């Protein structure tokens, strides 16, 4: 290699090294956070003279306002940024802050985006326990809390452990012994907000119905399961939450229990028995106890991925679990662009569907949510067909698997089914439709004309299963 070629070679290496240094030094993961010497900071923000709390680490601003304050047209009354910088909002601007807004602070080629949220004063109880053992079921709509405890407990001196929204105070205070012979009022206060909760203690040694879960308490369930569990405890008389470990250890008597419901949600879904067993080890360990309950005449409601449990319990004729399963994650799930439903052809008169059947595309069906619902489409269904799945026809599935089909997807897949009582056992209902969904992340479902059918179908299922119990 001659001298000129050597120089060219060295120059080429230097150029590559400098390029790599430049690439590593430029992080474009968040171009909105481009900044030069702190010259793009938002330093002060007031809306209608309410001071914003600025967090420069998250580029967020929270402005607190009274509980009933109208945020539809708030005026920017003060805004201060770094020297030489400009903000996308100016003093005197009137903006709708009923939802988060963005303020861009710019200085030359550098800028930062701040998310501004207006938050009304809140005074809520978010968690309530007695003696740090018995969890209260909070009904936020009616501002009431019910705590179920054994008859052996002394209810004249129970110690509440209370969690509230940030900054709020509560009276009687958390940790202070209280007599719960009669319902007790707890007053929560934060600035302009005040909420009074009526707490009632119900003593019972044996629940009539149980919601079972993997978590040790209802507060630790994921949002989908917690929504379902809270509904049951508010709407089914003498219902109680138990963990599978509670059942395995015989911590609660099930002598009077007629039905156990398990609704299992796994973000991203599961599609094999191996994944089910890995996701729910405590349920697998409790199989003998649940099977004993079932064989002694107790009924089971298994929904979403809990439908795999029927095979674990030996209830299925061929030992198979649903063969066509998937699901999304709560926070990134899809928004429906139309109503979601499943068909109930030839089964519209089953007690499961009382009061919810509609005509959909010329067939009997059930709507479960409307347009605008965020749904994970978590599905555990049975594919029927000669192409794959093991069941050429619906008759073959019913004969070989030992169940009765009750609901169908648009392609004929089985999304709801029943294992009938055999005379000594209870009954089992399974719902694996992706339409059957309790929780919509970030979506207010109060105006959804169809979402109430989820609760109605569940109420029907529990009533039917209680009638099937021995």
Chain center to CA of 368: 16
pLDDT of residue 27: 44
pLDDT in tens, 395-439: 999 999 999 999 999 999 999 999 999 889 999 999 999 999 999
Domains of the chain: residue spans and CATH: 31-120 (2.60.40.2340), 125-203 (2.60.40.2340), 209-468 (3.40.50.880)
pLDDT in tens, 122-141: 999 999 999 988 888 888 88
Whole-number Å distance between alpha carbons of 151 and 67: 40
80: enclosing H helix or E strand: strand 74-81
Query: Rounded to whole angstroms, what are the CA distances from 269 to 257, 314, 378, 401, 415?
Result: 30, 23, 6, 23, 15
pLDDT in tens, 22-31: 444 444 444 4
pLDDT of residue 137: 86
Q: Is the pLDDT score of 1 beyond 80?
A: no
Q: Is the pLDDT score of 212 beyond 90?
A: yes
pLDDT of residue 206: 87
Confidence of residue 8 (pLDDT cuts 50, 70, 90): very low
b/e map 236-271, b = 16+ CB within 10 Å = bebbbbbbbebbbeeebebeebbbbbbbbbbeebbb
Whole-number Å distance between alpha carbons of 206 and 214: 20
Segment 351-355 shows an average pLDDT of 97
pLDDT in tens, 27-77: 444 444 444 445 899 999 999 999 999 999 999 999 999 999 999 999 999
Tell me which DSSP letter residue 173 carries. Answer: P
Q: What is the mean pLDDT of the chain?
A: 91
pLDDT of residue 18: 46
CB 407 within 8 A of CB 431: yes
Global pTM reads: 0.74
Segment 203-210 shows an average pLDDT of 90
Beta-carbon contacts of 252 under 8 Å, excluding residues fewer than 6 positions away, are 206, 207, 240, 242, 246
């Amino acid at each position: 290699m001659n001298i000129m070629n050597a120089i060219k070679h060295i120059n080429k290496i230097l150029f590559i090294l400098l390029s790599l240094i430049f690439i590593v030094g430029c992080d474009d993961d968040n171009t909105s956070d481009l900044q030069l010497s702190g010259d793009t900071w938002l330093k002060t923000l007031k809306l209608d003279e309410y001071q914003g709390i600025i967090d420069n680490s998250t580029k967020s601003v929270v402005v607190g306002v009274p509980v009933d304050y109208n945020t539809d047209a708030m005026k920017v009354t003060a805004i201060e940024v770094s020297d030489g910088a400009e903000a996308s909002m100016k003093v005197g601007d009137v903006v709708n802050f009923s939802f988060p807004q963005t303020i861009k602070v710019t200085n030359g080629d550098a800028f930062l985006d701040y998310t501004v949220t207006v938050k009304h004063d809140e005074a809520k109880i978010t968690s309530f326990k007695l003696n740090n053992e018995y969890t209260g079921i909070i009904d936020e709509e009616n501002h009431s809390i019910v705590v179920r405890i054994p008859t052996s407990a002394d209810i004249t001196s129970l110690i509440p452990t209370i969690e509230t929204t940030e900054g709020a105070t509560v009276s009687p205070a958390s940790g202070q012994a209280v007599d719960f012979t009669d319902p007790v009022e707890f007053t929560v206060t934060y600035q302009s907000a005040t909420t009074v909760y009526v707490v009632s203690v119900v003593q019972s040694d044996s629940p009539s119905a149980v919601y079972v879960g993997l978590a040790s308490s209802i507060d630790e369930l994921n949002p989908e399961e917690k929504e379902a569990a809270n509904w049951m405890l508010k709407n089914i008389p003498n219902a109680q939450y138990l963990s599978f470990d509670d059942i395995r250890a015989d911590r609660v008597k099930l002598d009077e229990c007629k039905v156990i419901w398990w609704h299992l949600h796994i973000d991203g879904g599961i599609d094999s028995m191996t994944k089910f067993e890995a996701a729910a080890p405590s349920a697998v360990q409790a199989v003998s106890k649940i099977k004993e309950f079932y064989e002694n005449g107790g009924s089971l409601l298994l929904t979403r991925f809990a439908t795999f449990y029927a095979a674990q319990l030996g209830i299925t004729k061929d030992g198979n679990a649903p063969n066509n399963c998937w699901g999304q994650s709560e926070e990134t799930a899809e928004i429906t662009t139309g109503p979601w439903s499943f068909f109930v052809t030839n089964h519209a008169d089953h007690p499961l569907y009382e009061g919810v059947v509609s005509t959909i595309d010329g067939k009997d069906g059930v709507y479960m949510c409307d347009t605008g619902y965020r749904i994970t489409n978590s599905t555990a269904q049975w594919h029927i067909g000669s192409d794959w799945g093991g069941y050429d026809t619906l008759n073959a599935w019913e004969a070989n698997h030992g169940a009765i089909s009750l609901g169908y997807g648009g392609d004929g897949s089985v999304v709801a089914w029943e294992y009938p009582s055999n005379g000594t056992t209870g009954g089992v209902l399974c719902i694996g439709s992706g339409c059957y969904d309790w929780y919509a992340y970030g979506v207010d479902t109060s105006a959804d004309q169809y979402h109430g059918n989820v609760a109605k179908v569940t109420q029907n299922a529990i009533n039917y299963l209680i009638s099937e119990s021995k």
